[in-house]
Structure 1
């Protein structure tokens, strides 16, 4: 059937190429893989609602599952003058006749199909990304535990400030990444309504069951408001924003690690498999992977801006600006952030702190000065006086070429009755351990313990989403298999048919944190790290 009835002509080839692009095999497999998952659920629902005869349903399901099984190769060379979906539907009509193939689109529109495909793909992408973020979190917490005794200076305004530990620094990154993981999880939680059933923009008068298709596709609910279901793509904005926040966290980590790996700092060393050389300069040992981590954050921030700009001031209804252009900007951003996380996993796991150098720079930076001032305060010296006294002592030490404070002179009468002892200048380790309030490095073990518990909670949330999707896939496979089976065949006989129905084209989100990995044990965290390293080739 050519045209739409209302229209008898299509776009010219050049215009069509701009609007629909060139769909290669991978594009066809990805888009139609998700679209046909929606179709399987829709056919099951139409049949159960009495809107599609069982024989027609079985014929549709057999043809759709056959297309899925061969990766849609029979569609690769077909012309698509009105887009990929209508090319695919036209193929079904040509193969099965209008009385069968022409009934697939009953009670729906490309608008709610496209919104549903977006939701399915976004769910898979976010599940994958969150899984990798949790793997990285496990590596960070493992390294934080391992390096909690490695003393180093922390900096403010690029100047030595106070002593902390390298493990404490990594725990700080993990604290920020925990919020990013929570934000990604919230976006997943809000992907709880399936748009299918909203139709073009105002639902339908046909007696369909949107909650049934939602169940078969792994969503708790059908659409609440039809116009919102096809008009809104703010979930993509939220997803990209959460991903961009994670990427920004990693970019700051990467900046520190790259700075600390310079010869001027020499705080951190990377194994050869994580650095690169130069085509011209023989001596170079570049931690170039960190630059990739930093750069990918820019893609995510730019994508959010592009998506928001495409949505701005559009009518609140289905539109190409929102459903195509705004959404299209998000996919590369999510992929870039996932790549950034994947790169960071072995970088954190492989970075080796240089303990002696870190402690040397902490001593030379006079980072115990604040604690010395506080100890004078504890002996009755007013803080501003103590601040001045210690600052003067640091100046005198620098001018004399000393690299450590050896004595503090307090003005007569400034101290309390006990008076300060110049021999009680604290060690770096003592200062680190004494800062056990306000989230200081002395509380690092408690911080790691809390974050480990939260990692386990994030893992349970992710598992719940995966389990719901897997259960929906099982239900859909069983329903499809039952409709495809000959009448009278026992339920178990349709098992093979149900497997074939979904084989090779399901949502397919890869595993993230395996069961038990977020339990906080070094073995679990190291196992996650080792798995990530095995997949990372030498640069």
Structure 2
């Protein structure tokens, strides 16, 4: 049997069935309260729609040959309350603004769900950062050893990037959370509708003022861009962990539940969870570009062609990868001792030696930098490590500053080159010194609490709005029924 051409569209609309019913309920409440439809018709429609709330599309006995989900609902209503009452449902609206409204509600819900997951990742990372606020580790630039880092400091930086992701998602959410219902086909309506009523009943923060903008999907590009930026950050986090979990680095180890085995190499512990994140991030690059490409149709009048059904799947992917990475961080084994042992490798504190030469002996930084470069080259050639360096090893090289001769000893050199000395000294704002790391963690924790509170507050608000919509629709149906009964008794 051939698939009906409307079947794929109906399959997509199934995801938005709950939001579609809420739009119908809010619309009927508004039509009834404004007197656009009679209380009798409004009561009949509400009485038929309310039992569908909380059900699945299967309750409608869907037949693809009968058209979109809007028409499937009308068919169900016609069978329940009659064709005349069912036909009143589309008064003062079209499939254009109806569809735009429930799609925004679905996109809003999925964006909020993603933000909730991102806030959870932020909290997990900060918990690990608090455990390792004093864990000194080697730092890298160009994937080469640079200066000592602190693992908790590194993690608090990740939390800061996550907060930026949440800020971008919130900005997209605000653009999404505007109600297009009542813009109809782009010219408004001749009926005395109350758009603020339906907007409030559906939990929107306001209405889309201009009827021509009711069907625009540019807000989807904002969501997609924010989600793609999030995926870019997740890619960075996953890449760091994959590199540092390799045998060559050995700074962290993933829990076995996030790893796979090899079909031929029994010794391998493959970081497949991190690879999944990185693969998904590669695809995410195209999300905003694809939506903008969709908008390059026949210009602004071509609104019917502007739909991005893949956005829901994209947000689900971002949610899944965020949740996956949260699990990785939550179970991550940090090799603190190896981090500390590697922190001074590769002369990572050479820049600090140059700083101390400037500070203690009045050299210019360029002179000190040149001298330290020569010292490092000499020690590498002679296989002398920083923690075993003696003044006799280097004071004979030509580049050794005359101002220092006879004024420093091996203890001074080894202390200056110690990674913990460097960390303690790096106390500039945002640095790795203990007091700065503690301040950054406190700041990140406070920011995370604000982020979580905003998200949980919005989730509760929407839950309460849905409950209020059902209660208001139920009360209106009951009142109309009582009025109808009273009128019948008088007759």
TM-score (norm 1): 0.82
Distance 1:116 1:134 in 2: 27
Of 470, 479, 484, which aligns to 1:477?
A: 470
Of 323, 333, 358, which aligns to 1:352?
A: 333
Of 271, 280, 285, which aligns to 1:296?
A: 280
- Bigger mean CA offset, 312-321 vs 161-170: 312-321
Of 420, 426, 444, which aligns to 2:437?
A: 444
Unaligned runs of 5+ in 2: 484-491
1:255 counterpart residue number: 239
2:319 counterpart residue number: 338
Flag the 1:460–1:392 CA change in 2: closer, same or farther, 3 A: same
2:422 counterpart residue number: 431
1:197–1:222 CA contact under 8 A, matched in 2: no
Flag the 1:69–1:366 CA change in 2: closer, same or farther, 3 A: closer
CA RMSD of aligned residues (A): 2.4
2:374 counterpart residue number: 392
Q: Secondary structure at the match of 2:309?
A: helix
Which of the pair has more CA radius of gyration? 2
Matched, 1:92 2:77: yes
- Bigger mean CA offset, 348-357 vs 61-70: 61-70
How many residues align? The count is 471
1:304–1:330 CA contact under 8 A, matched in 2: no
1:64 counterpart residue number: 49
In the TM superposition, residue 134 of structure 1 has moved relative to its aligned partner by: 0.6
Give CA-to-partner distance per residue, 1:236-255, whole Å, 9 cap, x none: 11111111111111111100
1:80–1:86 CA contact under 8 A, matched in 2: no
TM-score (norm 2): 0.90
1:300–1:334 CA contact under 8 A, matched in 2: no
Unaligned runs of 5+ in 1: 1-12, 491-539
Runs of at least 4 residues off by over 6 Å: none
1:365-404, aligned counterparts within 5 Å? 365-379=346-360, 380-404=362-386
2:264 counterpart residue number: 280
2:371–2:400 CA contact under 8 A, matched in 1: no
1:194–1:219 CA contact under 8 A, matched in 2: yes
Matched, 1:329 2:310: yes
In the TM superposition, residue 421 of structure 1 has moved relative to its aligned partner by: 4.7
2:43–2:481 CA contact under 8 A, matched in 1: no
In the TM superposition, residue 20 of structure 1 has moved relative to its aligned partner by: 4.9
Distance 1:368 1:282 in 2: 39
Q: Secondary structure at the match of 1:481?
A: helix
Q: Secondary structure at the match of 1:160?
A: strand
In the TM superposition, residue 75 of structure 1 has moved relative to its aligned partner by: 2.5
2:138–2:348 CA contact under 8 A, matched in 1: yes
Of 107, 122, 131, which aligns to 2:116?
A: 131
Of 14, 21, 27, which aligns to 2:8?
A: 21
1:104 counterpart residue number: 89
In the TM superposition, residue 417 of structure 1 has moved relative to its aligned partner by: 11
Give CA-to-partner distance per residue, 1:427-466, whole Å, 9 cap, x none: 2112112111141111211111111111122123223322
Give CA-to-partner distance per residue, 1:402-445, whole Å, 9 cap, x none: 23261465657653899555422322112112111141111211
In the TM superposition, residue 357 of structure 1 has moved relative to its aligned partner by: 2.0
Of 13, 17, 21, which aligns to 1:36?
A: 21
Distance 2:234 2:54 in 1: 40
Q: Secondary structure at the match of 1:162?
A: strand
- Bigger mean CA offset, 286-295 vs 454-463: 454-463
Give CA-to-partner distance per residue, 1:377-419, whole Å, 9 cap, x none: 1021111111111111111111112232614656576538995
Distance 1:43 1:303 in 2: 36
